[in-house]
Structure 1
């Protein structure tokens, strides 16, 4: 597996954060908030795989560009950036030594927490 940071996805996530399009949820909420396989497939059918890719910070370059399995480390539900997804992804990226992805997720988490603190 040749995992690399999806720069377009990071740019998209930063934009969501700038526009306050995020959810400050808890660490374990991602299992409930993550899109189901059917929701992912419906999103791809409506929007295309290139838009689906923007919701994933990891890209496995060993997989074909036209496959859903190429994209890893989701950070949202196709509408908002989710803190729980960022935390989950950061943990997995660290576990598998995907340093650039882990760093990007840490940056997003810090941004979410900073904005949340400022708004309270």
Structure 2
């Protein structure tokens, strides 16, 4: 039985392009090493998301989300899940927040990808 408001794990898949993009940004140093609780303040607002979409389109927008819902049209915000940054930098707080949500809602591939990004952010060499 699914919980209200959360789609079944099988419809949400790892966004490989976003995973590669996140690792690339971390290796380039485009990061913010903040604390977990900062994500509520640092996550892009709906207006910021819309402005980014207007400037860059769906393809670039999708690079900032590690999950995609295969049952949703790819040109809808509902298609994209597990944001990890603010359209400029990878935020440690966003990665940690998404990592715990991926575990909570049983998305092991996304959870592993986020753990790898988390390790990179904390100085590991994943």
For the aligned pair, the TM-score class normalised by the smaller chain equals over 0.9
Where 1:58 maps in the other structure, the secondary structure is strand
Gaps of 5+ in 1: 116-120
Say if 2:37 is the partner of 1:14. no
Alignment of 1:26-105 (within 5 A): 26-105=35-114
Q: Unmatched 5+ residue regions in structure 2?
A: 1-6
Counterpart for residue 112 of structure 1:
121
> For this pair of structures, how many residues does the alignment match?
115
Summarize deviations over 1:21-77 as a string: whole Å, max 9, x none: 101100100000011001001100110011000000000000011111100000000
Contact kept? 1:49, 1:68, Cα under 8 Å: no
CA RMSD of superposed structures (Å): 0.8
Which of 24, 39, 64 in structure 1 is aligned with 2:33? 24
TM-score scaled by length of structure 2: 0.89
Partner of 1:118: none
**Runs of 4+ that moved beyond 3 A:** none
